[in-house]
Amino acid sequence: MKHTQCLIVGAGPAGLSAAIYTARAGVDTLALGCNPKVAGDYDIDNYFGFPETVTGRELIERGMAQAKRFGATLRCERVMAVHHGENGNFVVKSDTDEYAADAVIIAAGVARVRPGIANLADYEGKGVSYCVSCDGFFYRGKSVLVLGEGDYAANQALELTTFTPQVAIYTQGKAPVISEGFAARLSQAGIPVIEQTVATLAGEPALAAARLANGTELPVDGIFIAMGQASALDFAKTLGLPLRGAFIQADHDQKTALPGVFAAGDCVGRFLQISVAVGEGAKAGKSAIAYLKQAGAAHTKTS
């Protein structure tokens, strides 16, 4: 497993700003993320220091170049999970690799794709979960479904095999977009990927069945939602971070309740502007540097 002192989840304005600060301070910095939503061909004309209009894409490209100049490593990898590791560190799993990190800055989006189930809310906490690490233990030997169409769903399904062999993926009618590596692992584990839609849920007082759009009723004990890509909210739930609605609780210095984990940008739910995200990223970077120094983990980066 590869090691880095500071791993940043997200390569948007907050993540890149944090990477600039940590890398410039000599901290071994790795930022993981692909195509942040701000990196589009739309105009931005209210960002400080740009009297001319700049596109989101250009702004991100400039931020990436600056972070790299200070020695940060940027990789287009999609983070699937962030877990507690040994000795107080953290394990970050992407779609292609796995890393051990002394500190983590969460600077990813919070958007969560909903599966389109009419009565989903009635069963949240009663058979419906968003976190295998949190709730997989409760489904030992039971029948579970994972709803999702991509690598995130595949990863969640594979993690569930630690607790039960009765796992299937339903894509909610979408075409699967699972990479070859994950598809091979699903096949080896005997996990089917089914292009059917779960329309409603049934059971009293907890989940007992899933009714498909074609009228079929499946007996099932648990459903894990993993639509689209993993979000900051998913990582927060796995780590046990306190939330404020759909956002991560972070203090003025971007510290979460868990030492060594910081959060910045849209995922903390403040004024959702690029300038604010950049400022929060800088504060998160500064706090991570202080944490690493205090923990005795920070040292001058060597090649």
For residues 251 and 38, which has the higher predicted lDDT (pLDDT)? 251
Residue 301 pLDDT exceeds 50:
no
Strand partners, 90: 84, 101
Mean pLDDT (the chain) is 92
- 163 lies in the same domain as 104: no
> What is the pTM assigned to this prediction?
0.82
pLDDT given for residue 302 in this prediction: 39
| Mean pLDDT value across residues 286-295 | 96
| Mean pLDDT value across residues 104-110 | 90
Tell me the percentage of the chain whose pLDDT exceeds 70. 97
Domain closes at, from 195, 225, 255: 225
Residue that is written with structure tokens 């990927």 in the block: 193
- 209 lies in the same domain as 291: no
Cis peptide preceding 242, ω within 30 of 0: no
Domain annotation covers residue 302: no
Residue 240 pLDDT exceeds 70:
yes
Domain annotation covers residue 194: yes
Domain closes at, from 199, 225, 251: 225
- 213 lies in the same domain as 269: no
- 132 lies in the same domain as 154: yes
pLDDT given for residue 112 in this prediction: 65
* φ, ψ dihedrals at 155, nearest 5°: -65, -40
- 90 lies in the same domain as 239: yes
Residue 299 pLDDT exceeds 70:
no
Residue 303 pLDDT exceeds 50:
no
State the residue range of the domain holding 210: 120-225
Both tokens of residue 105?
């800055």
Between strands 29-32 and 73-75, the pairing is parallel
